[in-house]
Every structure is written in C-alpha cells, then in structure tokens.
Amino acid sequence: MIGVMPRIFVTRKLPGEALGRLADAGHEVDVWNGELPPPRDELLGRTTTAEGLLCLLTDRVDAELLDACPELRAVANMAVGTDNIDLAECAQRGIPVGNTPGVLTEATADLAFALILASARHLIAAAGAVRAGHWRTWEPAGWLGQDVHGATLGIIGLGKIGRAMVRRSEGFGMRLLHHDRTSGMSLDTVLADSDFVSIHCPLTEQTRGLIGERELRQMKPTATLVNTARGEIVDPRALATALREGWIAGAALDVTDPEPLAPDDPLLQAPNLIVLPHIGSASHATREAMADLAVDNLIAALAGRAMPNPVGES
C-alpha cells in the first residue's frame, strides 16, 4: 500500500552509500540502471507511483511530469542548479525541492583553475603531440603560451565558487576583477581588462546568453574564456566564430549548449578549444557528498520535516 513504504525513483546509480540509507529509512527504492538518463517516457512511467524523486540536471521536472505522478511529495536534485525543474509549478503543488549546495565548491574551482592552466599552456595539444610522435626536439619557439602568474583574472559571479577562485588566484599573484549582479565592476570592464575570464554565475533568464558576440568582441585577442557554470550562459555559435576569427585566444569549457555536444557540432571544429564532459564536481568525495545531501533532503521531506537544503521559487 502506497504510504506504508514510500516509493522513491532515482534517475541514476549513485556513488557511495547514499542509496542504502534510503532503504534503511524504510523506503522502496527504484533506480534507473542505464548509463544514459532515462528517456522521457521511462521517466514519466517510473515516477507514476513515486512519492519521492531523486533526479539530475538531465531530468526535466515540469508540469507534464508532475501531472503524471500525483503521489509525488518531494524532489531532490543532485546538483546546485535547478534550471531543470519548474520551481513555480512545484511550489504551486506544495512539493518541496532540494539541491546540494556547498559540497562541490572546491572541486569545481579546482577544475576551473586547471582549465585556465591547461588552456594558457596548451597542455592538451602538447600532450597529444607527444603521443602522436611529433616531439622531435626542444624548440625555443615551440608551444608558447600565456603566463598565468601575474595575469588578470576576471570572475563573473562571485558566489561560493567564484570566491574559491579568488583564493586560488592569490597563490599565482593574479590581479582580480569581478562582476556580479549586486557588486563589482561592469561586465564590459571585466571583459575588456581580463586575461582570463571565468564564469561562475547561475543560469537565470538574466544570464542566459550573457556572453555573446558583443561580449566576446570586447575581450582581448590574447584572452581565454573559461566556463564551468552552465552552457547556456555562452552563445556557442558566437564562441565558435570568436575562436576561428581570433577575437579571443582560447576557450575552455566544462559545460556546453547543448549538452552533450554532437561529434559534428561546429563548435568542436573551432581552434584553441578544450571541452570536458561536465566533470566539475567529479571527485569521489564530492559526488558522494552530493548524493548524501540529496538523500538527506528526501528522507527529511518524506518524514514531514523541512529539507536541510531547500530551494525556493526564484
């Protein structure tokens, strides 16, 4: 009987022991075991009798899904962002939504700074040249890149991850500029004066398409753009053109629009580009902590308590 043992649908296998804690708390747990996200019809079908949903950014939670699962009482997103969830629709139906903030800050900042270094010093291309047998001798003018120490770092979005980037930049003696919706310099100034621009703002209606042709043309021709936030913040067509025509020196992305990119996507043909498969939080400790927070949110909500990490309608 529904309600005696609340049923939870989890849209992917999770690292660590988090799922075991759901079962220990008396929940029936249904886990999607595919390597790819559940197709839409599977997501709708598997949530029909669910009281709890543990989902990822790849799973769209909207009115259609909520209509299909009338027993749903809680949604836990294993992510900081919630742009895959219609928060207003959930709020209207009295369904709490939780996320997993805080635990992925340092891992994501680590990756963002690694992308700065990799792009500045052409590490991916240089390593590929060695494997391809193109390393014949030491060349005085070979593989010349940009200095990171002493350079100017522009940060867009000074939240937790943005501030973590500030701490990392201090060890490299970097000059710091930042733009945020409530403080800092204008976006135009940050773009024009920075050697490296790193994006750390959330995806909202205000930031969607924030970096387009106009903004890319404002950057230095020697500058690098790094995005570990959300792919939709950067116009991919404008970025491809900027790289091909030399408006900027390079770009390094952990997120794209769309995601994933098709192998024949025009952006992947652009020069001086690094693209990673959205691995900003991909450390053992971080992903296990994210799973634990998502489970904590579900256990609390299904027990009638407030979620430890609730998300309100923005």
Would you say 228 and 112 are in contact if contact means Cβ atoms under 8 Å apart? yes
Query: What is residue 129's predicted lDDT score, i.e. its pLDDT?
Result: 94
Alpha carbons 61 and 198: distance in angstroms, whole number: 29
Residue 42 bears catalytic tag: no
Residue 259 designated active-site: yes
Mean pLDDT, residues 25-35 taken together: 94
Segment 283-314, tens digit of pLDDT = 999 999 999 999 999 999 999 999 999 997 53
pLDDT over threshold 60, residue 187: yes
**Given its phi and psi angles, is residue 94 left (phi above 0), alpha (psi -120 to 50 degrees) or beta?**
left
CB burial of residue 43 (10 Å; 0-12, 13-18, 19+): buried
Same fold, 7-103+284-311 and 105-275: yes
Q: What is the pLDDT of residue 42?
A: 96
- Among residues 179, 230, 232, 287, the one annotated as catalytic is 230
Segment 185-204 shows an average pLDDT of: 97
Average confidence (pLDDT) over 196-219 = 97
Averaged pLDDT, 160-168:
97
Domain locations in the chain as residue ranges: 7-103+284-311, 105-275
Terminal CA-CA length for the chain: 36
**What pLDDT does residue 314 have?**
39
Catalytic residue among 7, 12, 278, 287: 278
Q: What architecture does CATH give domain 7-103+284-311? A: 3-Layer(aba) Sandwich (3.40)
pLDDT score for 7: 95
Query: What pLDDT score was predicted for residue 4?
Result: 62
Burial classification of residue 126, based on how many CB atoms lie within 10 Å of its CB (0-12 exposed, 13-18 middle, 19 or more buried): middle
pLDDT of 226 over the 50 cut: yes
- Where residue 1 falls among pLDDT bands split at 50, 70, 90? very low
Is the pLDDT confidence value at 2 over 70?
no
- Residue 216's pLDDT is what? 98
Interval 128-137 mean pLDDT: 94
Is pLDDT of 178 > 70? yes
What is the pTM (predicted TM-score) of this model?
Answer: 0.91
pLDDT reported for residue 127: 96
Point out the catalytic residue in the list 28, 42, 213, 259.
259
pLDDT of 155 > 70? The answer is: yes
Q: What is the mean pLDDT of the chain?
A: 95
pLDDT band of 5, cuts 50, 70, 90: confident
Q: Please name the CATH architecture into which domain 105-275 falls.
A: 3-Layer(aba) Sandwich (3.40)
- Where would I find the beta strands (DSSP E) of 12-133? 28-31, 52-55, 74-77, 97-98
Instruction: Name the least confident of 1-10, 42-51, 165-174, 277-286.
Output: 1-10
* 278 is a catalytic site residue: yes
pLDDT for the residue 3: 45
